[in-house]
């Protein structure tokens, strides 16, 4: 620190002396700059060119506060106590947040973050709570509220709770970078890891069509949508990826026909895949390539590269929420699988590929999963048997000519 000029002591006393109007209300303590006021203690200090006051419940707390503010001032790190509320900051933050990664922040993710904040965090935390008042205890109690079935009126899966915390973590990290918080109270927060056997969540259950059900469903679907449903079953694409396919994404006239997944249509918005693994090449059978070629050649107007392959009768992008009740559900019911959704085609594709002997790496890449380990987690119950067959070493080490037929 620089040496104080000769007039500094007088000025210092003036900085820590309360205004005359306050003297009747305050009592000096043994620590300079700390005054007793009723049942609380007032800390008077100077920072960023202004006199400031903060209260503390006890003398010891006041001394700690004074030391902290003096240290902040010495380091040039003082930040005035933010008065913005959690609700106000969250509402403003979600409109401008741009993410942290090189891929930016998807508008679909922004909409989901906004929904999660509105549904959970802004419902739980009182509107008057300041952002700077949020503590790790508050967040732990918030997680407990999320995990309480009676409070929610239903069971929230652990994944849902983690998702609900994602916008809170991102928001608090932004507040730290912007100098509103010294650290994020979400750091080190424990999230529930409950026994999945105790969770009755049918939505997460992987169900597949039987071969007979799939055969009947494809035979029932009208001609307008038959090729798209065959593509879903033959490639394992998500419905959002299938409806976003353009003719430029297909390679039909080669010895190895295939399609490239480069984007998806989610809630009417065109978006890139969520991860780099979602950008992938998926092989097409010769029969499916023939069907797609016939669809292209049968168009009344020649197809352009950027035209969507599957559209409504008016040429616009398909809305899965409209297609589901109008086309999928009647066909699935006729096939004896009225429980089925679009994701059932994806699960069935995985089941059939595993039955054909595809390994987890091949399947993971075809589905656009981030790792084979995740694919194994989802589809482990579809693998044939728990135990490998015994290895006959004598047979394996015998030359092919010597092996018994």
The CATH code of the domain that includes 62 is: 3.30.160
pLDDT in tens, 214-248: 999 999 999 999 999 999 999 999 999 999 999 99
Q: Which residues of the chain have pLDDT under 50?
A: 1-16, 20-24, 77, 195-204
Dmax over CA atoms of the chain, in Å, equals 109
Task: Give the mean pLDDT of the chain.
Answer: 83
Domain of 64?
8-75
Q: Which residue pairs from 349-358 have beta carbons closer than 8 angstroms and sit at least 24 positions apart in sequence? A: 349/232, 349/233, 349/234, 349/235, 349/236, 350/208, 350/236, 350/375, 350/378, 350/379, 350/382, 351/208, 351/379, 351/382, 353/236, 354/379, 354/382, 354/383, 354/384, 355/384
In 3D space, the residue among 317, 343, 339 whose CA is nearest the CA of residue 329 turns out to be 339
Residues 225 and 324 in one domain: yes
Same domain membership, residue 328 and residue 223: yes
What's residue 69's pLDDT? Answer: 74
**Residue 185 covered by a domain:** yes
The predicted-structure confidence for 278-298, as pLDDT tens digits, reads as follows 899 999 999 999 999 999 999
Give me the pLDDT at residue 120, please. 95
One domain, residues 181 and 137: yes
Same domain, 230 and 329: yes
- Kindly state whether residues 268 and 240 are assigned to the same domain: yes
Final residue of a structural domain among 29, 55, 75: 75
Is residue 146 within 8 A of residue 164, CB to CB? The reply is yes
Strands 34-37 and 40-47, sheet pairing: antiparallel
Prediction pTM value: 0.54
Dist CA 404 CA 398 (whole Å) = 9
Q: Which of 75, 95, 123 is the last residue of a domain?
A: 75
Q: Which residues pair with 259 in a beta bridge?
A: 250, 282
Edge-first strand order for the sheet with 250-251 is: 250-251, 258-261, 280-283
Q: What is the pLDDT of residue 389?
A: 65
The two three-digit tokens of residue 338, written as one number: 């009225």
In a shared domain, residues 229 and 376? yes
Query: What pLDDT sits at residue 14?
Result: 44
Using the 8-state DSSP alphabet, how is residue 237 labeled? -
Q: In the structure encoding, which two tokens stand for residue 395, read together? A: 């047979």
Are 220 and 361 contained in the same domain? yes
| Domain limit, last residue, from 32, 49, 75 | 75
Total structural domains within the chain: 3
CA neighbours closer than 13 Å in the CB half-sphere of residue 296: 22
Q: What is the pLDDT of residue 275?
A: 76
Query: Which pLDDT does position 72 carry in this prediction?
Result: 64
Q: Do 256 and 298 fall into the same domain? A: yes
Q: Residue 402: inside a domain, yes or no?
A: no
> In this structure, are 218 and 312 located in the same domain?
yes
Q: Are 65 and 91 in a shared domain?
A: no
Is 254 found in the same domain as 106? no
Same domain, residue pair 176 and 227: no
> Quick count: other Cβ atoms within 10 Å of Cβ 175?
24
């Amino acid at each position: 620190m620089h040496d104080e000029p000769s007039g500094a002591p007088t000025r210092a006393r003036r900085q820590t002396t309360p205004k005359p109007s306050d003297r009747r209300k305050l009592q000096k303590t043994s620590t300079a700059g700390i005054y007793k006021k009723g049942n609380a203690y007032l800390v008077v200090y100077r920072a960023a060119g202004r006199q400031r006051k903060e209260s503390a419940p006890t003398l010891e707390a006041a001394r700690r506060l004074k030391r902290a503010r003096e240290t902040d001032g010495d380091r040039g790190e003082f930040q005035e106590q933010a008065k913005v509320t959690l609700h106000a900051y969250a509402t403003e933050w979600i409109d401008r947040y741009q993410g942290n990664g090189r891929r930016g922040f998807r508008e679909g993710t922004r909409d989901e973050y906004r929904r999660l904040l509105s549904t959970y965090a802004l419902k739980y935390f009182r509107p008057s709570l300041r952002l700077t008042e949020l503590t790790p205890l508050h967040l732990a109690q918030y997680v407990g509220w999320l995990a309480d079935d009676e409070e929610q009126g239903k069971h929230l899966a652990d994944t849902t709770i983690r998702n609900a915390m994602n916008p809170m973590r991102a928001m608090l990290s932004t507040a730290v970078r912007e100098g509103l918080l010294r650290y994020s109270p979400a750091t080190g927060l424990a999230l529930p890891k409950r026994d999945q056997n105790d969770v009755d969540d049918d939505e997460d259950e992987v169900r597949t069509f039987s071969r007979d059900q799939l055969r009947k469903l494809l035979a029932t679907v009208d001609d307008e949508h038959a090729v798209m449903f065959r593509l879903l079953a033959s490639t394992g694409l998500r419905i959002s990826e299938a409806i976003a396919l353009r003719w430029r994404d297909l390679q039909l006239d080669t010895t190895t026909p295939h399609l490239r997944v480069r984007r998806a249509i989610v809630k009417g918005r065109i978006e890139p895949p969520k991860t780099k693994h979602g950008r992938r090449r998926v092989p097409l059978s010769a029969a499916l390539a023939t069907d797609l070629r016939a669809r292209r050649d049968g168009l009344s107007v020649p197809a352009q590269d950027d035209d969507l392959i599957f559209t409504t009768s008016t040429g616009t992008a398909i809305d899965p929420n409209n297609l589901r009740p109008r086309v999928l559900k009647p066909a699935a019911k006729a096939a004896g699988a009225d429980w089925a959704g679009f994701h059932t085609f994806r699960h069935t594709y995985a089941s059939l590929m595993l039955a054909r002997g595809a390994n987890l790496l091949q399947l993971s890449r075809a589905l656009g999963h981030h790792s084979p380990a995740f694919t194994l987690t989802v589809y482990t119950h579809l693998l044939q048997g728990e135990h490998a067959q015994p290895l006959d070493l004598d047979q394996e080490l015998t030359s092919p000519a010597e092996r018994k037929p």
